[in-house]
Structure 1
Amino acid sequence: MTTIDSRSPAFFTATATAFGRILSAYRHSPGLLAITLAAPAGMMLLFGFVFGGALAGTADAAAYRSYLTPGVLVLVAAMGLTATASTANADLNSGLTDRFRALPLPALSVPAGLALAETLTGGIALIIMSGIGAAAGWRIDATPVEIVAAVALLLLFRFALSWAGICLGAVIRDEQMLQQTAPLIFGAIMFSNVFVSTETMPGPLRVFAEWNPISAVVAALRELLGAPGMVPADAAWPLREPVTASAVWLTAALAVTVPVVLRQYGSARPQRS
């Protein structure tokens, strides 16, 4: 078999082809982006306005919405994981991935194109959600450098979750079983500091929430964008050093998922009924 280095033009051409195919699917099905935004936007309205006064307590409800918005942005990025997993799973089971494998292309090119496309569409969703947050009263209190760092963190988070989604879709080949994982993923996201401070949670749940990678990314985003809210003095390390913790979590996620994806795409075979 011909070996192609990942730095060769063929690698970039194949990656660009896979990238363009995913974007074409979104262009012809704009409802996919709307579905990605529907749940987070609903959460923003529900928790920001319906429950906002109660959750804010004696504080200003508008301040709570500013506290909430960075968490909802992370939620938007995280919600794309299941869509990415479904896309990867469908490609593998339909035999499309096998057709790519029949070409003299590196195994990395197809999942890399998918991950980049999902990151771009996730970025568009994040821009729209930021506009919704601004309309709800969210304001950024940060320097240009901090804003750039926050945007980079969100995109890297979406990129890492894209690889996690591809990994999930490749490992769980049964489509129905894959669909059943969506509530579990959403539950793991909810056990975090997206909506409320971990300080209000009971012991074991608080420990889980504070070590949840989602919580670290949310805390880092709030710190970088100057969102209101203090981290408890006795909080776990990921919340006390959220930017560093986020970098560690995301690096670990890529280090685990990328090799698994490469093995799966290197040995993938379509499952026909």
Structure 2
Amino acid sequence: MTGHVPSLPRTPAARLRWALADGWTLTRRALTHWARQPAQVVVGLLFPIMIVLMFRYLFGGQMRVPGGGGYAEFLLPGMYAMTMAFGLETTFAAVSGDAAKGVTDRFRSLPMASSAVVTGRAAADLLHSALTLALMLACGLAVGWRWHDGTARALWAIALLLLLRFALLWAGIYLGLVAGDPQLLVAVQILVWPVGFLSNVFAAPSTMPGWLGAIAEWNPLSATVSATRELFGNPGWGGGSWAARHSLLLAVLWPVLITLVFFSLSVRRFRRLSR
């Protein structure tokens, strides 16, 4: 007996509905895994909160905020952005784990949209990141952080943080597909952590050597940090460079560019697996 193989949709609208339905199916798969393994999710949520508490109470007494103001209000926007950036590691681990177990190859053998695997993972990780950010915001409020320029601007800042995470999760998906081995997570951390700290989160780019400060100022993470500090009404480093004066623009352009590049690379890589 031969099974019935459904015909592929022919019109663009039908293909889009097909891709969205398949993507949502795989999103629900990831959410189901988290529901059955809550300990892993809880640990992932508690780690950034622990980092915030450490920096706030262990180092905060020695920190001097540029231009005055509370250290928590200076620190927290940077910590929010770093948490979104380091989420790339979670995405890499999930994608490379599926590839190593043969799950990804199994998906490729099914009559499903080729983009569904990557879009499903992206949607699931973005939902997880939104929950993580909500908990961090609550933690920030508990340790003295506040926004000062109205709810609308604060929501724009939150949107920029999620936009950064959305862009970088595509980088995580692509690297996971290329590596195909979750043990290579250490190599990704060696890449991600220096990029995270080579920014304006903890130190002003103006205090760094000229070439290093320029890299820090043009770091996509720095753009999001500067933009969110401005939108929240929190203190920042300032600066007279073009990147510092146009951080809001760069906080949108950088994630859009990263998304365009790594989304196309991810879908192409998925289609070429095991060829």
- The alignment's TM-score, normalised by the length of structure 2, stands at 0.89
- Of residues 216-225 and 175-184 in structure 1, the stretch that sits farther from structure 2 once superposed is 175-184
Selected match of 1:72 from 52, 64, 79: 79
Query: Structure 1 residue 31: deviation in Å?
Result: 2.9
Change (3 A) 1:185 1:4: farther
Matches within 5 A, 1:128-139: 128-139=135-146
Query: Structure 1 residue 144: deviation in Å?
Result: 3.0
Query: Structure 1 residue 82: deviation in Å?
Result: 0.6
5+ residue gaps, structure 1 = none
Paired with 1:48 and 1:54, the residues of 2 have a C-alpha distance of 10
- In the alignment, what sits opposite 1:116? 123
Paired with 2:219 and 2:40, the residues of 1 have a C-alpha distance of 27
Task: Establish whether residue 21 from structure 1 lines up as the match of residue 26 from structure 2.
Answer: no
- Of residues 204-213 and 123-132 in structure 1, the stretch that sits farther from structure 2 once superposed is 204-213
CA contact (8 A) 2:230 2:236 kept: no
- The alignment's TM-score, normalised by the length of structure 1, stands at 0.89
Q: Which AA in structure 2 matches 1:216?
A: A
Question: For 1:25-50, what per-residue CA distance to the aligned partner results, in whole angstroms no more than 9, with x for missing partners?
Answer: 22222233333344433332232222
Selected match of 2:202 from 182, 195, 208: 195
- In the alignment, what sits opposite 2:180? 173
Selected match of 1:229 from 224, 236, 254: 236
Change (3 A) 1:217 1:57: closer
Paired with 2:163 and 2:61, the residues of 1 have a C-alpha distance of 33
Change (3 A) 1:210 1:21: same
CA contact (8 A) 2:88 2:172 kept: yes
5+ residue gaps, structure 2 = 1-6
- In the alignment, what sits opposite 2:259? 254
Query: Structure 1 residue 51: deviation in Å?
Result: 1.6
CA contact (8 A) 1:108 1:262 kept: yes
Selected match of 1:86 from 80, 87, 93: 93
CA contact (8 A) 1:67 1:222 kept: yes
Task: Establish whether residue 34 from structure 1 lines up as the match of residue 34 from structure 2.
Answer: no
Paired with 1:247 and 1:102, the residues of 2 have a C-alpha distance of 37
Selected match of 2:52 from 37, 44, 52: 44
Identity of aligned residues (%): 34
Query: Structure 1 residue 93: deviation in Å?
Result: 2.2
CA contact (8 A) 1:18 1:114 kept: yes
CA contact (8 A) 1:4 1:10 kept: no
Query: Structure 1 residue 143: deviation in Å?
Result: 2.4
Task: Figure out how many residues of one structure are paired with residues of the other and give that number.
Answer: 267
Query: Structure 1 residue 172: deviation in Å?
Result: 1.6
CA contact (8 A) 1:219 1:242 kept: yes
What secondary structure is seen at the aligned counterpart in 2 of 1:192? coil
- Of residues 41-50 and 249-258 in structure 1, the stretch that sits farther from structure 2 once superposed is 41-50
CA contact (8 A) 2:34 2:40 kept: yes
- Of residues 251-260 and 42-51 in structure 1, the stretch that sits farther from structure 2 once superposed is 42-51
Task: Establish whether residue 54 from structure 1 lines up as the match of residue 62 from structure 2.
Answer: yes
Query: Structure 1 residue 238: deviation in Å?
Result: 2.5
What secondary structure is seen at the aligned counterpart in 2 of 1:79? helix
Paired with 1:19 and 1:85, the residues of 2 have a C-alpha distance of 16
Question: For 1:210-230, what per-residue CA distance to the aligned partner results, in whole angstroms no more than 9, with x for missing partners?
Answer: 111110011111111111234
